[in-house]
């Protein structure tokens, strides 16, 4: 237990280092106003997200009270929290357990493998608790207020909130261990890990969509009336496929047996995970650090080497860094899979409920009613949605870290190095937009003629966001990180970059909405004008601000 507390304390101190008061000061003792502002903005963004969740749940609770189903809100919140933790926590568990830099030296400590695994999983669990609490507490408190519950309800509520992430994180740990063990000694382990991660996420998503309740095809008015008139009809339908949700809601409401059953299942999941993975965890981590070998098929001669121009050589280096570092790949390439996941979820939902034909007919009617220019703007907005989620450019300079000394020695100007970083980020966005365009073209062939201008508009949004984010990272890079997770997930520049992306994405959208009374051509012209100004501003910032600051950074000692 002493070793567990020590390892957990070190991990938490490392994660919370950016929020210590001492971190707000420079080496000379002066306050770092930029870092203070970054912390304030991050806290403000978290507050805005929490306020939005509270607003949505309060509005939904009012509607559920009208139909006599108030218990449905905590069940919905809990089911969504578990599903999100299993889907998104998969990548957090994989990068935290098997692709962290501290696993090598931990393997040589006089500590058991199971203790290290317990400390790391506790750290991940505490990180997931922030999201779970934001989703669960508003619904649970509203339900408790409705019931006029006593203090025992709120005590059980706290325990339910704390235990909700345990089951999905235990499942994620088992899946990631299987993936890490299968790819441990492969030659191109990074590629296999990425492919396996996408496959497992697709499997998890399919299972989640299968577990969700479905309305029978032969449902009539009496079926829906029965659900509404029954005291827990909708609750049983929603949580029937996953009983722990039902146990938790009934347990908070006063059923001691179901509450203890929920607690026991969560504890059993954690104990089973530690029992199965405890002994093999550190050996698998060490295998991840080894490099697989394969028989050489021939000696590579000098004439076989391909000579690249400096710009494309640097682009190749940036891409290698993203692809071969799992923490970078999981975060930077997530925008590539977000549109296929959304499309797959919509397809499975409509197919399972037999509403695909009706949806396509309604969409055809909408196409005939709308203007082609307006449809082009909607397609462009949909395809550009994932561009501000890409942190590759917002951390392009910070990711160099101590490797900046090598960049100083390269006989290449600062402008070319920044251009390589910008091209690398833009290439990810091009893939994102291209995948979305292919899906739209395959699903709705009537949109093919509108896709080309929509893709151009989406890439204009991408360029503006990438240029601004790269300028921000060149001005205030974080070069003193310990592991890749800190620079790609715990960086203030990522939060600022997403905020900048949202603003640049929203400006043309707001402009088009304000001109709703004008013609479609006027809306298109206004959107193109706004995007042109954003792109020009981004180009000027790269040329006159980012290049100079990056050059000064190279010349500094």
DSSP state of 396: T
State phi, psi for 101 to the nearest 5 degrees.
-70, -15
Residue keyed to tokens 């749940």: 57
> Which tops the pLDDT comparison, 301 or 431?
431
Binned at pLDDT 50, 70 and 90, residue 487 comes out as: confident
Give the list of residues 6+ apart from residue 419 with CB closer than 8 angstroms, or none. 311
Query: What does the alpha-carbon distance between residue 57 and residue 139 come to, in Å, rounded to a whole number?
Result: 6
Helices (H), 305-447: 310-323, 326-332, 334-352, 356-369, 372-384, 404-409, 414-443
CA pair distance 549, 488, nearest whole angstrom: 21
Candidates 61, 83, 67; CA nearest to 244 is 83
Q: What is the pLDDT of residue 288?
A: 67
**Residue listed under structure tokens 């009617």:** 365
Least reliable range by pLDDT among 341-350, 382-391, 427-436, 469-478:
341-350
Do the beta carbons of residue 386 and residue 339 sit within 8 Å?
yes
Distance CA 332, CA 294 (A): 29
DSSP 399: G
DSSP codes joined into one string, 483-552: SHHHHHHS-HHHHHHHHHHHHHHHHHHHHHHHTTTS-HHHHHHHHHHHHHHHHHHHHHHIIIIIHHHHHH
* Model confidence pLDDT, tens digit, residues 373-421: 888 888 888 888 777 777 888 888 888 877 777 777 778 888 888 888 9
* Cβ within 8 Å of residue 273, ≥6 positions away: 121, 170, 173, 174
DSSP 71: T
Looking at residue 266, its pLDDT comes to 92
Torsion of CA 300, 304, 309, 311, to 10 degrees: -40
Which residue has 């695909």 as its token pair?
A: 356
Summary mean pLDDT of the chain: 77
Give this prediction's pTM: 0.68
- pLDDT surpassing 80 at residue 87: no
Burial environment of residue 176 by CB neighbours within 10 A (0 to 12, 13 to 18, 19 or more)? buried
Do residues 175 and 99 lie in contact, with contact meaning Cβ atoms separated by under 8 Å?
A: no
Q: Across residues 174-198, what is the average pLDDT?
A: 73
Q: DSSP assignment, residue 279?
A: T
Closest by alpha carbon to 387, among 502, 254, 523?
502
What is the rounded distance in angstroms from the CA atom of residue 426 to the CA atom of residue 463? 7
**Look-up of token digits 């095809």:** 217
* 424 φ, ψ (degrees, to nearest 5): -60, -45
Lowest-pLDDT range, 235-249, 402-416, 537-551?
235-249
Give 460 or 355, the one with higher predicted confidence: 460
Query: Tokens for 381?
Result: 């907005």
Q: Is 401 helix (H, G, I), strand (E, B) or coil?
A: helix
Domain extents for the chain?
A: 2-20+29-215+226-291, 310-555
Task: Give the burial class of 33: count Cβ atoms within 10 A of its Cβ; 0-12 exposed, 13-18 middle, 19 or more buried.
Answer: exposed
Residue 159: its pLDDT value, please? 92
User: pLDDT by residue (tens digit) across 247-266?
Assistant: 888 888 878 888 899 899 99
Provide the 8-state DSSP code for 306.
P
SS (H, E, C) 22-59: HHHECCCCCECHHHHHHHHHHHHHHHHHHHHHHHHHHH
Closest CA to 207 of 245, 241, 254: 241
State the first-to-last Cα distance of the chain, in angstroms, to the nearest integer: 44
Q: Which two tokens stand for residue 153?
A: 């309800």
Burial class of residue 63, CB neighbours in 10 A (0-12, 13-18, 19+): exposed
- Residue pair 183/286 in contact by the 8 Å Cβ criterion: no
pLDDT in the model for residue 557: 42
Q: What is the mean pLDDT of residues 327-331?
A: 75
Closest CA to 99 of 281, 318, 289, 278: 289
């Amino acid at each position: 237990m002493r070793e567990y507390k020590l390892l957990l304390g070190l991990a938490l101190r490392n994660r919370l280092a950016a929020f210590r008061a001492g971190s707000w000061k420079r080496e000379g003792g002066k306050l770092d106003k930029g870092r203070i502002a970054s912390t304030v903005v991050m806290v403000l963004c978290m507050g805005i997200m929490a306020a939005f969740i509270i607003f949505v749940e309060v509005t939904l609770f009012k509607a559920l009270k009208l139909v006599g189903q108030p218990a449905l809100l905590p069940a919905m919140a809990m089911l969504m929290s578990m599903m999100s933790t299993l889907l998104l926590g998969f990548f957090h568990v994989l990068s935290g357990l098997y692709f962290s830099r501290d696993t090598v030296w931990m393997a040589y400590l006089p500590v058991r493998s199971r203790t290290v695994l317990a400390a790391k999983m506790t750290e991940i669990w505490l990180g997931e608790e922030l999201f779970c609490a934001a989703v669960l507490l508003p619904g649970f408190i509203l339900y408790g207020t409705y019931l006029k519950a006593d203090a025992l309800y709120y005590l059980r509520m706290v325990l339910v909130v704390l235990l909700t992430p345990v089951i999905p994180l235990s499942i994620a740990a088992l899946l990631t261990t299987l993936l890490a063990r299968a790819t441990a000694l492969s030659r191109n382990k990074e590629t296999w890990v990425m492919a396996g991660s996408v496959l497992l996420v697709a499997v998890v998503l399919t299972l989640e969509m299968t577990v969700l309740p479905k309305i029978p095809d032969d449902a009539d008015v009496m079926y829906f009336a029965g659900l509404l008139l029954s005291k827990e009809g909708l609750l049983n339908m929603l949580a029937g496929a996953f009983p722990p949700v039902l146990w938790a809601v009934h347990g908070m409401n006063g059923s001691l047996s179901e509450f203890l059953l929920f607690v026991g299942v969560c504890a059993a999941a954690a104990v089973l995970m530690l029992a199965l993975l405890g002994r093999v965890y550190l050996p698998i981590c060490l295998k991840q650090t080894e490099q697989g070998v394969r028989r050489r098929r021939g000696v590579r001669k000098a004439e076989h080497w391909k000579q690249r121009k400096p710009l494309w050589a640097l682009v190749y280096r940036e891409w290698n860094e993203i692809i071969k570092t799992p923490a970078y790949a999981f975060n930077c390439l997530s925008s590539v899979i977000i549109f296929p996941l959304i499309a797959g979820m919509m397809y499975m939902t409509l197919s399972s409920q037999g509403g695909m034909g009706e949806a396509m007919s309604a969409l055809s009617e909408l196409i005939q009613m709308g203007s082609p220019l307006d449809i082009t703007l909607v397609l462009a907005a949909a395809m550009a949605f994932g561009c501000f989620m890409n942190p590759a450019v917002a951390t392009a300079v910070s990711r160099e870290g101590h490797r900046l000394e090598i960049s100083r020695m390269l006989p290449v100007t600062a402008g070319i190095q920044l251009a390589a970083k910008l091209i690398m980020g833009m290439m990810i966005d091009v893939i994102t937009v291209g995948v979305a365009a292919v899906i739209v073209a395959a699903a709705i062939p009537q949109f093919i003629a509108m896709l080309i201008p929509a893709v151009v508009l989406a890439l204009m949004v991408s360029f503006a966001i990438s240029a601004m984010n790269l300028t921000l990272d060149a001005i205030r890079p974080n070069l003193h990180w310990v592991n890749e997770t800190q620079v790609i997930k715990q960086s203030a520049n990522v939060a600022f970059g997403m905020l900048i992306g949202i603003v640049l994405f929203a400006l043309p959208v707001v402009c088009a909405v304000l001109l709703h009374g004008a013609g479609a051509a006027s809306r298109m012209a206004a959107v193109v004008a706004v995007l042109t100004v954003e792109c020009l501003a981004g180009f000027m910032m790269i040329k006159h601000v980012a290049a100079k600051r990056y050059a000064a950074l190279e010349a500094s000692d």
